[in-house]
Chain A
Amino acid sequence: MTSARGSSWRSKLPAPLIIPAVLAALASLVPLAYLVDVAFDRGAGFLWDELWQRRTLDLVVRSGFLAACVTVASVVIAVPLAWSVMRSDLRGRRVWRVALALPLAIPSYLAAFAWISWESSFAGFWGAFLVLTAVSYPYVYLPLTAAFGRLDQSLDEIATIHGKGSVPRLIVLAARQCRGTITAGSLLVALYVLSDFGAVATMRYDAFTWVIYGAYRAGFNPSRAAVLAVVLVMIALVLVAAEAVARGRAVSTMTSRAVARPRPIRLRSLAIWFHAAIVIVVGLAVLFPLWRILAWVSDHGVEDGVGDVAAALWGSVRYSLVAACITVLVALPIGLLVARYRSRTSLLLDRATYVTHALPGIVVAISMVFIGVRFFRPVYLESPFLVLAYVALFLPVAVGGVRSSAEQIPLGLDDVARSLGSGPMAVIRRVNLPLIAPGIASATALVTLAAMKELPVTMLLRPTGTETLATRLWTHTSVSDYAAAGPYALAIIIFVAIPTAIATSQR
């Protein structure tokens, strides 16, 4: 029996962990702080004027409308399909289950490139809507498959006994039990849409990120870019906070006891509709982009030459790998403290990394530009600065990885090691680190891949003369040179999307 709340939690934090952790968390908040500073550069009056301009309000409405449409579409896709692959007797459901998660691995600008290179009239709202829905519905779908898998089937049986066992009714019944999971997933989709740069930029849809980029590029008005970025961050913070609340509720309403593997519900003649829906979704989200890219490459050959693609690949890998190693190293003390010590400090650290989670790439990019121009002239647009920006952007991903693997180590192991004469740091070295080594490796891989497909930060902060796969693809797409973009798109599929799909499916 573990009595009272203090039990099994050490409250005294080891200083060798806490100092780097606090420094890292503070450093990760610097871009946001500096952004606010720039926004106030011309005084509160200017800020106020910018905020209440018609075009700012229009922007909020446009971005909000896009986020709302994508979120609704994602829920409409994810709920019945997740139900069909988890709770029904749909044939091939194990394969479908994996296939439906694949779009997560495809960068939004790559999907956008595939569509716009096929039909340029997709540009604008509909193109952005289509692409963002295709790449972001897995944020609802994935947690929902897990939640559906844990549902007690006895409710299905009771509903059937009472003559309310039709398939649509059972889907609604299951969805109502997983409301919290759906809400949390929806908020993640909305956050993703608001943060996304690649799709709206390629589709030329005037959403926040694209307008912020435009204001920055115009060059004369950094304060407007900063003001808009602050507004975007505020909205994102609300979404992040709401998501944390919704996820907490979803977890607390979940049954913790092991439930018997539910008997699949028979779809009978409805099965064909589910198969058709899955084929359409996977087709639009995965197969169509693949087909387009392969078509470009086979029609136009490798125009840029293999050498240029290789150079861009090397550019992507080099910075991403270095950044990933540093990010995970920085995340290690935070992840360990949050997972294994309960105190006000570790709670604050957790919140701080959560805040940075709300920072869209373009916001991190322009705030790093401001910081670089003002304080880091010598290294601004040099490789260390790009790596630093990646660290700031991906710290939450790495902390999440370290934390979730550290949480799986029973706290009792630390106690035993302490009683056997090991001090706090020796426990970390001899017990915790060896046990989270696989988690560290997978976090490093995920951050590497995330950095390789990252677009806005790379674009704005890459060292002069350096090209990466993402920047090359962007440059060619933005001038509608799709033939030249093809090989880079293919390289991203091979070296980023496929490894990402493999890495995420193994977690």
Chain B
Amino acid sequence: MNTTPILRLTDVSKSFGSLSVLSGVSFDAPRGSLTAVLGPSGQGKTTLLRLIAGFERVGDGRIEIDGEVVGSSSVHVRPDRRGIGIVPQEGALFPHLDVADNIGFGLPRKSQHRIDELIDLVGLSDMGSRRPSEISGGQQQRVALARALAPSPHLVLLDEPFSALDAGLRAGIRDEVIGILRAASTTTLLVTHDQEEAMSIADHVVVLLGGMVAQQGSPTDIYERPASVEVARFIGDANLLTAHADGSSVTHVLGTQASDIAAGTATVLIRPEQLSVSSDGVPGLVERRAYYGHDGTIGVRLENGEVVSVRVSVAELAPVGARVHVIMRGQATVFAG
């Protein structure tokens, strides 16, 4: 089996004038995988996508698609010759064409057979002659996906494709789109700022912070073993507590654990679900509570003044001002400094 990654970025950098947007970005998207580039707004995600698609020139470094260099400081393959499908944020369907013609836009010969195949694939069988304005937002996204898949691209780029949809529809359409891409074993790169979205659907997550890759790995890796305080803070809810390390262990308000981190001040990460209220443990005062329906969280000010967020069942959702005891399960993640 061919093991060349479909997409490989090596030390890719880009700046606009004196403003550096990306620096030294490297990652692979293996054949048939779904890779998510995850980062907050304004950290270079869109620029990265535009470099891969060929809308911008690479400043430094190298982009390869299926083993062929398509972008470097000296090479620039035009976007129309890269064989990449894109699904933009709002679908961006051609308003003057009907659904079938939108899907057929990228086919060299308007193969009706291929168009019908794709219309069926995305479940819009009797809508070929509708205009984009006559179908719903979710249907538009599916047409955009079919249009991107029609010329059988090496790679499909999804640019925040679900963020414009209503929250109620988002999960359903997302599962559907991902299902279609998986069924077609299409290599997919999803750009998103929604960490739940990235964690729940991607095989591989690339966290982009400040134009650099802060960490990459499986969703579990990134959640359970964040590489830095910044990543920990960005991915999921995080309690970051100060701790003291002596070279063989660290001590923080909720306990002590073995750690070979250098002696001195340290920071520990404890997820809210690692904490619970109990009859003994570290005493504290409930400062805030949030009710989510299935469960909730309480913010507890501990005896040393630090506030931790604790995930609790609805029955344990104590009122503000209540005195509780907090205990920790499992190991905290330790960072130096």
Contacts and interface: CB of A to CB of B under 8 A. Distances in A.
B114 interface: no
Contact of A435 (B16, B45, B79, B96): B96
Given A421-B106, A421-B108, A421-B151, A3 B53 contact: no
B259 interface: no
Contacts of A5: 16
Contacts of B189: none
Interface in A406-458: 410, 412-413, 415-423, 426, 430-431, 434-435
B95 A435 contact: yes
Interface string B24-58: 00000000000000000111111100100111100
A344 to B, nearest CB: 14
Contacts of A2: 46
A152 to B, nearest CB: 26
A415 B106 contact: no
Contacts of B105: 417, 420, 422, 430
Given A1-B46, A6-B16, A423-B80, A416 B88 contact: yes
B271 interface: no
Given A419-B79, A419-B86, A423-B80, A7 B96 contact: no
Nearest to B95: A435
B315 interface: no
Nearest to A412: B92
A412 B256 CA distance: 54
B193 A421 contact: no
A4 interface: yes
Contacts of A4: 16, 19, 21, 47
A418 B94 contact: no
A447 B259 CA distance: 79
Nearest to B55: A415
Nearest to A422: B80
Nearest to B79: A418
Interface in B42-90: 42-47, 50, 53-56, 78-82, 84-86, 88-90
Contacts of B85: 419-420
B147 interface: yes
A410 B94 CA distance: 10
Q: Most chain-B Cβ atoms within 10 A of its Cβ — which of A1, A10, A434? A: A1
Contacts of A423: 78, 80
Contacts of B41: 1, 3
B21 A419 contact: no
A412 B88 contact: yes
Contacts of A434: 96
Contacts of A410: 90, 92
Given A415-B86, A416-B86, A431 B94 contact: yes
B92 A416 contact: yes
A122 B9 CA distance: 78
Tell me what chain B mostly uses at the interface: helix, strand, loop, or mixed: loop
B88 A418 contact: no
A5 B46 CA distance: 12
Contacts of B44: 3
A3 B88 CA distance: 15
B197 to A, nearest CB: 15
Contacts of B151: 420-421
A418 B55 contact: yes
B159 to A, nearest CB: 9
B92 A3 contact: no
A68 B74 CA distance: 59
Contacts of B90: 410, 412
Q: Most chain-A Cβ atoms within 10 A of its Cβ — which of B45, B78, B82, B94? A: B94
A2 B193 CA distance: 13
B157 to A, nearest CB: 8
Q: Most chain-B Cβ atoms within 10 A of its Cβ — which of A416, A426, A430? A: A416
A423 B151 CA distance: 15
Contact of A6 (B54, B56, B147, B160): B56
Contact of A10 (B45, B55, B84, B108): B55
Given A417-B105, A419-B85, A7 B46 contact: yes
Contacts of B193: 1
A420 B147 contact: yes
Q: Most chain-B Cβ atoms within 10 A of its Cβ — which of A413, A418, A419, A420? A: A419
A274 B86 CA distance: 56
A398 B95 CA distance: 24
Contacts of A418: 54-55, 78-80
Interface string B119-147: 00000000000000000000000001001
Nearest to B53: A419
Nearest to B46: A3
Contacts of A430: 105
Nearest to B56: A6
Contacts of B92: 410, 412-413, 415-416
Contacts of B55: 10, 415, 418
B114 to A, nearest CB: 13
A9 to B, nearest CB: 9
A403 B150 CA distance: 32
Interface in B129-188: 144, 147-148, 150-151, 160
A430 B16 CA distance: 30
A6 B94 CA distance: 23
B79 A7 contact: no
A413 B21 contact: no
B46 A415 contact: no
B296 to A, nearest CB: 31
Nearest to A431: B94
A322 to B, nearest CB: 28
Contacts of B150: 420
A5 B42 CA distance: 12
Contacts of A426: 80
Nearest to B92: A412
A421 B80 contact: yes
A219 B84 CA distance: 67
Given A3-B44, A420-B147, A415 B16 contact: no
Nearest to B48: A3
B80 A415 contact: no
B79 A3 contact: no
B84 A419 contact: yes
Given A1-B42, A417-B105, A423-B80, 12 more contacts: A3-B42, A4-B16, A4-B19, A10-B55, A413-B92, A417-B94, A419-B80, A419-B82, A421-B80, A421-B106, A422-B80, A435-B95
11 contacts: A1-B42, A5-B16, A410-B92, A412-B89, A412-B92, A418-B54, A420-B147, A420-B148, A421-B151, A423-B78, A435-B95
Interface of B: 16, 19, 21, 41-47, 50, 53-56, 78-82, 84-86, 88-90, 92, 94-96, 105-106, 108, 144, 147-148, 150-151, 160, 193
6 pairs of A and B residues whose beta carbons are closest in the complex: A420-B106, A1-B41, A418-B79, A412-B92, A4-B16, A434-B96
